[in-house]
Amino acid sequence: MQDRVAIRAVFYWDIMLSSLTALYMYRLAKAHFKKTDPILYRAALLHAIEDIKPSRDVFGDLVSAIVNQQLSSKAADTIYGRLKALAGKFGVTPKRIISLKPSAMRKCGLSKAKVKTIKGLAKAVTDKKLVLASIHVHEDARVMELLTAVKGIGPWTAEMILMFSLGRVDVFSKGDLGLRKGIMHLYGLKKLPSDQVMDKLSRAWAPYRTYAAKVLWRVADRKKSTQNA
């Protein structure tokens, strides 16, 4: 019991510190981009970027990320909203997910594979094979290892958790289509960049690659909205 209280205290302290330093970190990131990549720096000045703060609901974030796999944001938000409604007042928690019938989850719009992954995640958490309460204390590589040990959770999902749930500032997802499109549009490429091109560019953005990713997503979104106008 004392260990659980201590872990919770460390977690909330970590959130408070991260919130206090978020604005300062983005200033540092922009100053870094100004020196290492003027093209990205100019784009950063044009786009307002949200602060990077840790989440208090890593399990819910994981379920949401699984739902988002290979779907548009609009479709994923609709499906996750239905799942939250199905979970009811209990919320999207490991115990509640385990109690839900797979057929009911399928009616929310989830594929059979995603239902299996979400159920497997919930079981891993309740069986304490995956301890989310203390996952924030691990280094990025270890978090990736722990999360991808759950069948159906790949590198992209784990990277999104590192970025958006754990507030890690130096993560970049080469497998994200939006980031590839952002790079293509920002740097005037004729086709989506290769892994080699992404590696070369992202090296210049370290140790603020999460902020670089946020800028690139904005670039991709702006281009898409312009094309659809």
Q: Domain count of the chain?
A: 2
Q: Is residue 16 part of a domain?
A: no
Higher-pLDDT residue of 53, 43: 43
The pLDDT assigned to 11 comes to 47
User: What pTM value is reported for the model?
Assistant: 0.85
- Domain membership of residue 124 as a residue range: 58-164
Looking at 14, 51, 127, 176, which residue is catalytic? 176
Residues 6+ away with beta carbon under 8 Å from 40:
33, 186, 205, 212, 215, 216
Please tell me the number of Cα atoms within 13 Å of 217 on its side-chain side.
15
Tell me which of 52-56, 158-162, 165-169 is least confident.
Answer: 52-56
Q: Which of 134, 164, 194 is the last residue of a domain?
A: 164
- Is the same domain home to 199 and 182? yes
Q: Say if residue 13's pLDDT is above 70.
A: no
Q: Say if residue 5's pLDDT is above 80.
A: no
Q: For the chain, how big is the Rg over CA atoms in Å?
A: 19
Q: Is residue 98 part of a domain?
A: yes
Q: Identify whether the C-beta of residue 133 lies closer than 8 Å to the C-beta of residue 4.
A: yes
The pLDDT assigned to 10 comes to 46
Q: Is residue 57 flagged as an active site residue? A: no
Residues 6+ away with beta carbon under 8 Å from 195:
174
Residues 6+ away with beta carbon under 8 Å from 194:
none
- Is the same domain home to 69 and 150? yes
The pLDDT assigned to 21 comes to 57
Q: Is residue 97 part of a domain?
A: yes
pLDDT per residue as tens digits for the range 81-103: 999 999 998 899 999 999 999 99
Looking at every residue in the chain, the average pLDDT score rounds to: 89
Q: Which of 107, 133, 164 is the last residue of a domain?
A: 164
Q: Which of 107, 129, 164 is the last residue of a domain?
A: 164
How does residue 224 score in pLDDT terms, banded at 50, 70 and 90? confident
- Is the same domain home to 142 and 183? no
Q: What is the CATH number of the domain that holds 142?
A: 1.10.340.30
